[in-house]
């Protein structure tokens, strides 16, 4: 299989990824508690609209509607026997959208966490995680995904299991973790820990980094941590569009398109080569991000003070790489609105 993402990384200074999958599908009518993956067969037209929105907004990469496509997650919807089918459909719809784009667009097969806790704290074995990710990977490969995209992982062993699954499927891959607990993943990894782990993998990702998490400020501090590690693998930054708030019974993200445009430029200057959005990031955010990246000359790596002044305060005083334990930030969580 031709490795489109590697070719693009070799010739482009940066690439823009897509935005939110869940937020967009909820806006299309997906109900809370329903499986987005089942829409790949029940409502393929809506999934195609999701992908097309990212392409039209300027994304070079979009993720497939398969985040919860492992047997462990699909079991919650009595669809654990449909892993291959639903993942193949997710990638197949994406392949059709990308092939008619008129330019190179990468179809990235999304692989989210299994939702189970790895041994010894939980019951999921490394072998079991590899088998689940491999089953999903084969479906995405059959559907025409260019690359596998592991995302929102918290545990090192689960990340390694996904890497092994990508190797077994003979697929290139990328992988991000979510740093949402005072600069660490839920299982305690810092940006430095992740960089060391990734650099030691036999089947290394084409790019690695962070997605989701607390907010854009925290994610960029994590990106600076990756940069400081010295690991020479392209960095991914895929931050949320602000902070989630409940408005009229629904989750709303307060990050404006202007704010996300500023985030995109800062992400590039932090060293990220692949820049996108996560929860709350809609097509208008992506359009503004693309324009800002094209119109704003590269600058030096921003200071933490500049990031906070532009995007809002950090959620904690430390990202953990200085050896400090988790502490809440003393500063206000009031956010700049661009």
Total-model pTM: 0.93
Residue 233 domain-assigned (yes or no) = yes
pLDDT score, position 325: 56
Residue 269 domain-assigned (yes or no) = yes
Mean pLDDT of 42-66: 98
Residue 200 domain-assigned (yes or no) = yes
270-309: buried (b, 16+ CB within 10 Å) or exposed (e) per residue? Answer: bbbbbbbbbbbbbbebbbbbbebbeeeeeeeebeeeebbe
Q: Express each pLDDT in 120-174 by its tens digit.
A: 989 999 999 999 999 999 999 999 999 999 999 999 999 999 999 999 999 999 9
pLDDT score, position 326: 52
Residue 31 domain-assigned (yes or no) = yes
Residue 245 domain-assigned (yes or no) = yes
Residue 298 domain-assigned (yes or no) = yes
Asked if residue 50 has pLDDT above 90, the reply is yes
Tokens at residue 70, please?
Answer: 């492992």
pLDDT score, position 125: 96
Residue 147 domain-assigned (yes or no) = yes
Q: Express each pLDDT in 176-235 by its tens digit.
A: 999 998 999 999 999 999 999 999 999 999 999 999 998 899 999 999 999 999 999 999
**pLDDT, greater one: 335 or 40:** 40
Q: What range does the domain containing 282 cover?
A: 4-302
- pLDDT band at 1; cut points 50, 70, 90: very low
Domain count across the chain: 1
Residue 329 domain-assigned (yes or no) = no
Percent of the chain scoring above 70 in pLDDT = 92
State the CATH number of the domain containing residue 187. Answer: 3.20.20.330
Q: Express each pLDDT in 240-286 by its tens digit.
A: 997 766 566 555 577 899 999 999 999 999 999 999 999 999 999 99
Q: Where are the alpha helices (DSSP H) in 151-215?
A: 156-168, 191-199
DSSP per-residue codes, 1-55:
---HHHHHHHH-S-EE----SHHHHHHHTPPTTS-GGGHHHH-HHHHHHHHHHHH
Mean pLDDT of 21-35: 92
pLDDT score, position 320: 86
Q: How far is residue 330's CA from residue 46's CA, in Å, rounded to a whole number?
A: 44
**Residue 120, preceding bond cis, omega within 30 degrees?**
yes
């Amino acid at each position: 299989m031709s490795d489109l993402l590697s070719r693009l990384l070799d010739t482009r200074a940066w690439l823009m990824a897509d935005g939110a999958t869940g937020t967009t599908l909820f806006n299309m009518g997906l109900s809370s508690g329903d499986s987005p993956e089942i829409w790949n067969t029940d409502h393929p037209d809506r999934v195609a609209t999701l992908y097309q929105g990212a392409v039209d907004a300027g994304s070079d990469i979009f993720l497939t509607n398969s985040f919860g496509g492992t047997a462990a997650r699909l079991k919650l919807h009595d669809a654990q026997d449909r892993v291959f089918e639903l993942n193949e459909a997710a990638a197949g719809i994406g392949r059709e959208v990308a092939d008619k784009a008129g330019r190179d667009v990468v179809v990235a097969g999304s692989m989210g966490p299994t939702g189970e806790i790895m041994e010894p704290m939980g019951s999921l074995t490394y072998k079991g995680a590899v088998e689940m990710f491999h089953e999903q990977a084969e479906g995405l490969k059959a559907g025409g995904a260019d690359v596998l995209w592991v995302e929102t992982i918290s545990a090192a062993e689960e990340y390694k299991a996904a890497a092994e699954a990508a190797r077994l499927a003979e697929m290139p891959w990328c992988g991000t973790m979510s740093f949402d607990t005072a600069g660490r993943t839920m299982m305690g990894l810092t940006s430095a820990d992740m960089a060391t782990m990734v650099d030691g993998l036999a089947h290394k990702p084409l790019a690695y980094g962070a997605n989701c998490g607390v907010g854009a400020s925290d994610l960029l501090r994590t990106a600076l941590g990756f940069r400081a590690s010295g690991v020479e693998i392209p960095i991914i930054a895929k931050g949320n569009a602000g902070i989630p708030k409940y408005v009229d019974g629904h989750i709303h993200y307060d990050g404006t398109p202007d704010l996300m445009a500023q985030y995109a430029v800062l992400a590039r200057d932090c060293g990220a080569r692949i820049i996108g959005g996560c929860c709350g990031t809609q097509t208008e955010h992506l359009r503004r991000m693309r324009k800002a990246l094209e119109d704003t000359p590269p600058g030096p790596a921003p200071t933490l003070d500049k990031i906070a002044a532009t995007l809002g305060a950090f959620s904690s005083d430390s990202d953990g790489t200085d050896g400090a334990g988790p502490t809440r930030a003393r500063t206000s969580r009031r956010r700049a609105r661009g």
